[in-house]
Amino acid sequence: MELDEKLAGFYTEHLPGAVIQNTMLQAPCPFCRESASRDGGSLVAYLGARSYFAGYFRCRNRCAPGGFAPHFARLSGIDPAAVPGYDPDREPSAGTVEFPAATINRDIRKYRDNLTPAILDYFAGRGIGPDTLAELQIGYNGRYIVYPYFALNGNCYTAHCIMPDNESEEFWHGDKATAASPPRIFNEGDIDCCEDGAMFIVEGERNLLCLRELGFPGIAVPRAADLNAIPVKRFQYVRTLFIAMDHSPESHETARVFAGKAGFKVRLLQWPPQKKRGFNLAQLAAEGPENFREEVSRLVNSARAFSPFPSPAHEYGVFLENMERQRSESYQALRTDMPGYDKAVGGIYGINILGGPPKAGKSCFAIQLATETARKKTGVLYYDFENGTQKIYQRTLARLSRVPVPSFSSASLEEKQKNSLAAAHIKMQNLLGFFRVVNDRRINPDAMRRHVDFLRHETRRDDILIVIDSLHKLPFKDFAERRTGINAWLRELESIRDTLNVGFLVISELTRQEGGRYDGVPHMGLFKDSSDIEYTADNAMVFLPEWQPTDTAMGEERTNALWLVASREHSPGLIGRYRLDFPYWGFKETEDEEN
């Protein structure tokens, strides 16, 4: 393991006789009292650069509370500026605490001296030795184990008394007001000792004793509910908090609430799901004291950070799922099966903005792409503010049957047309399970997300195509200007694309050019009322008619040119030409322009 050179230099400079082996420093303890040991105590410090506990020192004789480099400097009278990572602007936590007039220090000393062999055996069964009990001054009053809650001034005003084998039988001894008013923190002094380091927060005092036996710093709260009574600011200078609550939904939720306030520095220890309710560190130690250190290390290394970001493992899993999804039938259904279009743009993936002048056939083109996608059993949400559901269905039926809309109710249909219309009705019924038209002009992004979730559930397909006809007809009630509202909607569409992995086909109006014309060289400046289309669209396209709406001599021969004017992945240029298949409300890609 890599050595933290700065911390190693700091400790070796201030600990005469220090020896470093691998990443562990050992030196004679400068804090030991002469009576602690004939030969004096030994101090160890952990110096692994990648360890959460890098810089943590402790005396094996437990002569003084262990801690990190700033605490070592305070104990040694060293200038804090000499500590690696020293922050001259850091101020000690402010606040005044009023303590009761009377202490229970004398009672605690009496209870400490009352520890019986049976109580020592009780703790030994959980891997807790007499030195740890003496360090935290654990006692026994004849029936209850006494856990003293020492205040930061070194005095004890209250103690938690718990029956050894029945933790539900308990009471608080000492000052009642102190015992009743949160926060109640066992071994609170360790918080300041862990400045610039890491520590544990556990539920239940004996769980902390198990960790202290291994040399870890930490505090305990008597119940999980007490955790959220501790001000988060109390841990402002602690870098990492490992939270180990008992294995229960209530304790887990309490830990998550606290982590939500404390943020990135929290790492939540997770119990295996097969463990029984209420399982805790003391029970883990009792299962096998000889393996307890290894088990705690495993829990620490697998602890989940309470992070605003997904875990790397989750992200990689999603990446692989999306790679696999791109080979799925529903994803491939977002290709149009128009060779020129699919070659130039790849399909209807991401956000595709389709602009064109009025009456150019934008809606007709979008309906065709949407219904053909639905026919391939992929969900389509069609937000229509232009044509109405009946017109969309009629035009789709005309294209599928190749029977003009005015002839649907004609009594003079030929047998071939009747059969074709009957077959088209069956196709329509089948595609409507995947094609949903929404005319609600109160639509909002949250409702759109719910529609996506519903259609995914109904179709059992992950891939969804959303068509919006048109961008300029979306509701903008919260915005004074339409331009502001359009740009806000574009931001929402980006979010839906990124979080739900859906494809968009969005119809947009164009700005008239000089003389009221729409023709000329297509460019991004043609799109109306939005400067954000350039930054939002994965593909921005312009659908321009190569015919004059006022020229009746052209009859049915009407061809549009589709131009790609901007793209994140494809080269701009002519996509292809599309001939109106009149009167069947569809377009056909002309073969001579396929590319």
Q: Can you give the pLDDT at residue 73?
A: 97
Residue 66 to residue 59: CA distance in whole angstroms: 7
Q: How far, in Å, CA of 365 to CA of 588, rounded?
A: 10
∠ CA 426-429-434, rounded to 5°: 135
- pLDDT number for residue 593: 43
The pLDDT value given to residue 191: 97
Q: Phi first, then psi: what are they for 171, rounded to 5°? A: -160, 170
pLDDT reported for residue 516: 62
- Cα separation, 414 vs 558, in Å, equals 27
Identify residue 566 by its one-letter amino acid code: A
Residue 305 has what pLDDT? 81
In this prediction, residue 86 carries a pLDDT of 92
φ, ψ at 64 (rounded to 5°): -145, 155
- Sort 460 into a burial class: Cβ within 10 Å, 0-12 / 13-18 / 19+: exposed
Q: Please name every residue paired with 437 in a beta bridge, in sequence order, or none if there are none.
A: 382
Domains of the chain: 5-82 (no CATH), 105-312 (3.40.1360.10), 329-593 (3.40.50.300)
Q: What does pLDDT average to in each consecutive run of 10 residues of the chain (595 residues)?
A: 93 96 95 62 94 96 94 96 92 71 96 96 95 97 97 95 93 91 92 97 97 96 94 95 96 94 92 93 93 94 80 85 88 93 95 93 96 96 96 97 93 92 97 96 94 95 95 77 84 94 94 70 81 89 82 68 95 95 94 52
Q: What pLDDT, on the 0 to 100 scale, is given for residue 594?
A: 42
pTM of the model: 0.66
Collect all residues with Cβ–Cβ distance below 8 Å to 34 and sequence separation of at least 6: 40
Helix/strand/coil for 268? strand
**Spatial CB neighbours of 352, under 8 Å, sequence gap ≥ 6:** 345, 503, 504, 505, 506, 537, 538, 539, 540, 541
pLDDT at residue 425, as a whole number? 97
Q: What residue type is 59 in one-letter code? A: C
Of 427, 503, 519, the closest CA to residue 465 belongs to 503
Crossing angle of helices 415-431 and 389-401, rounded to 10°: 130
pLDDT for 93 equals 62
Which residues, in sequence order, are bridge partners of residue 468?
A: 383, 506
Query: Closest Cα partner for 537 from 266, 363, 348?
Result: 348
**Residue carrying the six token digits 């007499």:** 130
Give the rounded distance of the alpha carbon of 581 from its chain centre: 49
Amino acid at 482: R
